[in-house]
Amino acid sequence: MSEKSIKIKNAKTHNLKGIDVEIPHNKFVVVSGVSGSGKSSLAFDTLYAEGQRRYVESLSAYVRQFLGRMNKPEVDYITGLPPSIAIEQKVISNNPRSTVGTTTEIYEYLKLLFARVGKTISPISNSEVKRDNINDITLFIEQLPKDTEVYLMSPIILPNGREMNDHLQILSQQGFNRIFANNKAIRISDYIDNKMSYKTVLLLIDRVKNDGTTETKNRIADSLQVALYEGNNRCEIAYFIDNKILRKKFSKAFEKDGITFSPPTPEMFSFNNPMGACTKCEGFGKTIDIAEDLVVPDKSLSIYEDAIVCWKSDASKDWKNALIYSAEKFKFPIHKPYCKLTDKQISLLWHGNEYFGGIYQYFDFVKSQQYKIQYRVLLSRYRGVTVCPECNGTRLKKEANYVKLTFLQK
């Protein structure tokens, strides 16, 4: 929106006396006044009412007939009004599962938005996870230079306990003649008779010349169907350009980089649903565990000044010293106050590296000694309600984080 503020001209709803108001965008604005001065008339009956009315206007006539008429508030005009929501002051809930998002029901829309237009991005290669269908594969083949020789192949899936050669025999009885190994086509009978053995052997389904005719296109589509069936939703093509062999894998499954992803659904983004909720904190965003505020009560201290209080005692100071003596090797600022450390440095303190054991490792050690009373007491001193380390308080499983709204990143 290009405007920088909401402008209200001549508001006369209820007891408002034709007032003009300008409310800046992106600011926290409070309307105050004595009882009966028209705060609610301005906020709810003018601003919110107009926002709702415009939203309803944007819907089709068919939907509008179910929603009832919404009266236009008494005002000359309102400009710069973004979509409006109202949380009434009586809606105070102590339910720890309620958030501003769920109370206002905006969360419902966000779940739908992510499930419908979100793209799943693999955390390994940062590229989009997509299902390939026959159409995608034929399009890929069609854009290759004309008359390129293309091999359509399937990975060979051995049923449990069956030897490769026995399986090839069965495939040969089913009418398949060749396999693809060592970058060339080999007759199945030659492979068996000559006792060949290669690490990867693909079943060759068909060889075609990409000549662009309808007949070839139909043949490719038919062969791909067989290839995907034989390869359990996976297939591979090899093609020859300038005497060089190139290969590309396709999959109908929702996978990338060896990981099978779950396609986005609204439940995946709901922390009140077992499908979406983080398994460690069950969707609360908080757990009872080693609490940062108890381990580092004074965050203005540096590591050298004993910011980490559990490493202060004679019994545990070796943990702190291991960090201090090796800090130079990975440029850790031991004299910097804890609160000034970067997120990466704080994460390092908790997780450790090859030179020193982190705070989590220290507490793993303490937990392993729990049969001794002093360690049980020690542990209880540092346990408290803390942000869930698994989901970082986002309440959702990490799978939900793979789904991005890519148009927001541009």
> How far apart are the C-alpha atoms of 176 and 187, rounded to whole Å?
9
**Whether 152 contacts 223, CB under 8 Å:** yes
Residue placing its CB nearer to Zn ion in the complex, 203 or 278: 278
Q: Which string of x and - marks every residue 251-290 that binds Zn ion (by CB under 5 A)?
A: ---------------------------x-xx---------
CA-closest candidate to residue 150, choices 240, 222, 228, 243: 240
Residue placing its CB nearer to Zn ion in the complex, 21 or 277: 277
Residue placing its CB nearer to Zn ion in the complex, 127 or 401: 401
C-alpha 345: how far from chain center: 24
Q: Which string of x and - marks every residue 330-369 that binds Zn ion (by CB under 5 A)?
A: ----------------------------------------
> How far apart are the C-alpha atoms of 206 and 203, rounded to whole Å?
9
Is residue 396 involved in binding Zn ion (CB under 5 A)?
Answer: no
As measured in angstroms, the least distance from the Cβ of 278 to Zn ion is 3
Q: Please choose, out of 310-318, 323-331, 352-360, 385-393, the segment that lies near Zn ion by the rule CB under 5 A.
A: 385-393
Question: CA of 198: how far to CAs of 116, 183, 245, in Å?
Answer: 44, 11, 18
> How far apart are the C-alpha atoms of 261 and 245, rounded to whole Å?
30
Is residue 220 involved in binding Zn ion (CB under 5 A)?
Answer: no
Sign of the CA dihedral 308, 310, 312, 316? negative
**Whether 124 contacts 256, CB under 8 Å:** yes
Q: Which string of x and - marks every residue 44-73 that binds Zn ion (by CB under 5 A)?
A: ------------------------------
Q: Please choose, out of 51-59, 100-108, 375-383, 386-394, the segment that lies near Zn ion by the rule CB under 5 A.
A: 386-394
Residue placing its CB nearer to Zn ion in the complex, 220 or 396: 396
Strands (DSSP E) contained in 137-258 are 149-155, 178-181, 184-187, 202-209, 234-241, 244-251, 255-256
> How far apart are the C-alpha atoms of 64 and 55, rounded to whole Å?
10
Query: Total residues contacting Zn ion (rule CB under 5 A)?
Result: 6
Residue placing its CB nearer to Zn ion in the complex, 176 or 350: 350
* Residue-level length of the chain: 410
Which of 108, 206, 267, 390 is the binder for Zn ion (CB under 5 A)?
390
Tokens of 332: 């850790």
As measured in angstroms, the least distance from the Cβ of 281 to Zn ion is 3
Which of 388, 397, 402, 403 is the binder for Zn ion (CB under 5 A)?
388
**Whether 260 contacts 175, CB under 8 Å:** no
Q: φ, ψ for residue 143 (rounded to 5)?
A: -85, 0
Is residue 391 involved in binding Zn ion (CB under 5 A)?
Answer: yes
Residue placing its CB nearer to Zn ion in the complex, 137 or 400: 400
As measured in angstroms, the least distance from the Cβ of 393 to Zn ion is 7
As measured in angstroms, the least distance from the Cβ of 386 to Zn ion is 11
> How far apart are the C-alpha atoms of 72 and 136, rounded to whole Å?
51
Residue placing its CB nearer to Zn ion in the complex, 188 or 388: 388
Sign of the CA dihedral 292, 295, 300, 301? negative
> How far apart are the C-alpha atoms of 73 and 42, rounded to whole Å?
10
Residue placing its CB nearer to Zn ion in the complex, 278 or 310: 278
The DSSP letter of residue 396 is B
Q: Please choose, out of 98-106, 166-174, 197-205, 390-398, the segment that lies near Zn ion by the rule CB under 5 A.
A: 390-398
Residue placing its CB nearer to Zn ion in the complex, 53 or 280: 280
Which residues in this chain contact Zn ion in the complex, by CB under 5 A? 278, 280-281, 388, 390-391
